[in-house]
Structures are given as structure tokens and as C-alpha cells.
Amino acid sequence: VALYKSVPTRLLSRAWGRLNQVELPTWLRKPVYSLYIWTFGVNMKEAAVEDLHHYRNLSEFFRRKLKPQARPVCCLHSVISPSDGKILNFGQVKNCEVEQVKGVTYSLESFLGPRICTEELHFSQAPPGNSFQQQLVTKEGNELYHCVIYLAPGDYHCFHSPTDWRVSHRRHFPGSLMSVNPGVARWIKELFCHNERVVLTGDWKHGFFSLTAVGATNVGSIRIYFDQDLHTNSPCYSKGSYNDFSFISNNNKEGIPMRKGEHLGEFNLGSTIVLIFEAPKDFKFHLKAGQKIRFGEALGSL
């Protein structure tokens, strides 16, 4: 583990990113992309543009858009999958810890960082003696839930809003870019807390809601469409540091409203999405650990 952690994954990821942006000759595009499609099982029939010659470089191909009808958004359930991927874990948050894969946990506070001021999120002030987990829960009788979705290299790489909510705050953690493959996640404790990630926090009709995009090897680029100030995988950063940005200002007191299914951001290659949110005790997930899921399908409801 120590040897793997010493690998300069950020440098390698930046180099890979530059390679991905090199324009390929037209005659080379089909054989290169066809190899990728065959290796990772990409379904190009869903792509908005099926012609492989259209994609000038690997980066454009990775970030390909889908046909509008390819991912119908479920209207019957309150929370949908924000992306294509594989369900690694889900359930109630217990003892201020979240499972990244079965049997391997990480600290909720280390992952999200210190609690954001209550004035910004319009939340009630929690008693000072409460745990970090209890401070996030704003309504009596609610619980904190989590869901982890792993995006493989062959998956659709854009992610969308999982519900109707208001984004108040962005916290960017520069960090390592180790692989988030489930096999690696089993033997590196708190992997998601070491890796670069972008935490979006806000609230929905039941209280606290957050979506975190976790970077990985070759995924130095995490883009949030409404956040032009976000720049990921910079050459220099301080270990353990983070920077905050508020979407609430004098001109925009409500933050960024997001509708269920609305485009939110994108990765290059594959990575992981972590949802942590508050909901009443009768919230039920409609999932099985290890199942494949597609954007727009139901995660859970009341």
C-alpha cells in the first residue's frame, strides 16, 4: 500500500489528460475507439453521435453525450441514480462512518470536511455536544443515508442531479488520484478521503443533501457545469487542504436550484459518486449491492 501511495498519480493523470486531448488523424479514430469499445463494452447505439470519426480525441469520446431518450428519468421515486455505474454500497450512516466497499469504512467528517456554517445552509443550530453525523441531521426523526456508485471506464461519464435540491456550497479537496476500482478500495483504508474530490452540499425537501464527485487515476478532470471557478488536478497543492466556495451571495440568496435529472457535471474516464443525505426513517433504497445501474433509474423513495 505504501509503495502504491508513492506513485505520482497526479502527474501521470495530467500527462494522460494531455494525451487524451491530442487530435487523432481521421483514419486512426475508428481503430482506436473500436479497441476501447471492445475492451470496456461501450454501447455506442446510445450515443448522440454514433459516428466514431466525429470525436477528434479520446477526451471527446470519453465525454460523449447520449441520445435524449436513452435514459428516461424515473418520476415515481424521489431519488434517482445521478450516473451510470455499479452500486458499491448503500444504507444508513452509522457511528459517523460510511462504507466505501463492504467491510471497509471511512470517516464521514474526514470525507466531507468540517461542517459548513448553519447560516449558509439555513439549518437549525445543533447542540455543540452532538456528533458530526447528528449535526448534519436537521429534522427530528430523520436519518442520514449514503449511496456509492462506481463509474467504470466504459460507462457514460456525465452525472446529473439525483433529486430536486438547492446547491449552496462547493468544497474542493485537492489530493491523490489513486484508482477507485473496488478491488483497490478494499485494501486502502479511507481511499475516498485521500483522493481529490468535489463536495457539493445543500438541501432538499427533507433536509441536508450532498453529492461528492471523487477523482481517480487518469480522472484529474472533474467538471461542474455551473461552477466556472473550479479547477481540479492542479500541479501544486497542500496535503489535507481544501477550498470552499459559496453559491449564496447578496444577488443569489437561494443558491443553485437543480432539478431531478438536470445535467450537473462530468468526469474524464471513470470514477465514483457518493451521495450522503438526510431523509425520514421510512426512506427505502430499491437497490442490491453490486448491481449495475443507469442514470435516471430509481435509487430510493419514501
Q: Which residues carry out catalysis?
A: 84, 160, 271
* Dist CA 178 CA 8 (whole Å): 9
Determine contact, residues 291/67, Cβ cutoff 8 Å.
no
C-alpha closest to that of 88 among 279, 274, 300, 296: 274
- Reduce the DSSP state of residue 34 to 3 states and report it: helix
Cα separation, 15 vs 5, in Å, equals 18
Angular region, 86: left φ>0, alpha ψ -120 to 50, beta rest: beta
Question: How far apart are alpha carbons 139 and 124 in whole angstroms?
Answer: 9
- Helix then strand count (H, E) for the chain reads 9, 17
What span, in angstroms and rounded, lies between the C-alpha atoms of 254 and 247? 8
Report how far residue 231's alpha carbon sits from residue 213's, in angstroms, rounded to the nearest whole number. 13
HEC readout, 54-78: HCCCHHHHHCCCECHHHCCCCCCCC
Are 234 and 290 contacting, i.e. CB atoms less than 8 angstroms apart? no
Alpha carbons 45 and 77: distance in angstroms, whole number: 27
Q: Are 157 and 266 in contact (CB under 8 A)?
A: yes
